[in-house]
Homo-oligomer: A and B are copies of this chain.
Amino acid sequence: MSNDTNTITKRERDCVICLKENSSSGFPMRLHQVAALMNIKAPTALNLIRRLERKNLVEIQDGMAMLTKKGEETVIRILLVHRTYESLLCQSGVPKETACEEVAEVDYLMSEDNARLVLKKIGSPEKCPHGKPIPMEELH
* Residues of chain A having any CB pair with chain B under 8 Å: 88-89, 91-94, 98-99, 102, 105-106, 109-111, 114, 117-118, 120-121
Contacts and interface: CB of A to CB of B under 8 A. Distances in A.
A87 to B, nearest CB: 11
A101 B103 CA distance: 18
Given A109-B105, A109-B106, A114 B99 contact: yes
Contacts of A89: 114, 117-118
A91 B88 CA distance: 13
Interface SS majority for chain A:
helix
How many copies are assembled? 2
A114 B101 CA distance: 12
A94 B110 contact: no
Nearest to A89: B114
Nearest to A98: B114
A92 B93 CA distance: 19
Nearest to A107: B106
A110 B110 CA distance: 13
Contact of A92 (B98, B109, B117): B117
